[in-house]
Amino acid sequence: MDLLTLKSHAKVNIGLQVLDQRKDGFHNIHTIFQELEFHDIVTLEKTDEGCELSSNDKSFPLDSTNTCAKAYTAILEQFPNLDGIKVHVEKNIPQGAGLGGGSSNGATVLKGINELFELGLSVAELQELGQEIGADGPFFIRGGTQLGEGIGEKLSIINIKFDFVLLLVLPPVFISTAWAYNELKNGLEERVEKAKFADLFRRDIIPFELFKNDFERIVIPAHPEIGKIKDALINNGARFTSLSGSGSTVFGMFDEETAAKAAESIISSDYRTLLTCPIHS
């Protein structure tokens, strides 16, 4: 096999608590990662040497900073005699939207190279390599619904059937994750008690009002339209609404597809929207 095409899925965070800042400068977090059907398409093709990147998106970086290139480099360190790879990413997931598109692309390349070259790396080994491409990299190796701790690399599978339809609202706003963490750290308390999101998920009736995203308190004042989108989703029937990651995507969770489509018909006149569903591992 010389060619392989894979889906590279997006994610949302259902609740995101930012805890203490670590000695390495990163922050510990507590979150529920949920993989979505919404995806990019990654095509991998064997070449003689190196990593050649291309994309339909002009803003997609084509150098060593790209997560796909980082994935190839990480595997090359373990398999120095590995041949080259050509990677084309058909982008649908916007950058800087809190949907994990970059980490997903890199993780998909890790899995793709492992399959294409029959390297035999285990899920755990791929997750360890995933840490080198981004904080969300390890999550995308397995996907589904997982509790994320540490900087996102400490993962626990949550076995729950998640039947909501999600309406994603994507405003034309780029939010830098580095900026968001820098702004947020000024308001962090010395000791923060974890919300134990996984336990909340296992209740018969999920108390979504307890799933807070800490980034909202700095993103909404800086970008008031984020707050307006949240209000519009709630006013049009969303069971729960939140910023994903540090944004800028806002999502609403609906019990029925008909209700989600009705809300989309109203909100889509002002913003790019799309309907999607959760993926279960």
Catalytically active residues, by annotation:
11, 136
Give, for 111, the enclosing helix (H) or strand (E).
helix 101-116
Distance from C-alpha of 207 to C-alpha of 214, rounded to nearest angstrom: 17
Distance from C-alpha of 143 to C-alpha of 274, rounded to nearest angstrom: 20
- Taking CA atoms, 79 is separated from 51, 73, 75, 254, in Å, by 14, 10, 6, 46
**Nearest residue to 275 (alpha-carbon basis) of 33, 68, 38, 25:** 38
Distance from C-alpha of 154 to C-alpha of 127, rounded to nearest angstrom: 10
Number of residues written out for the chain: 281
165: CB partners within 8 A, 6+ apart: 253, 254, 255, 256, 257, 259, 260, 275, 276, 277
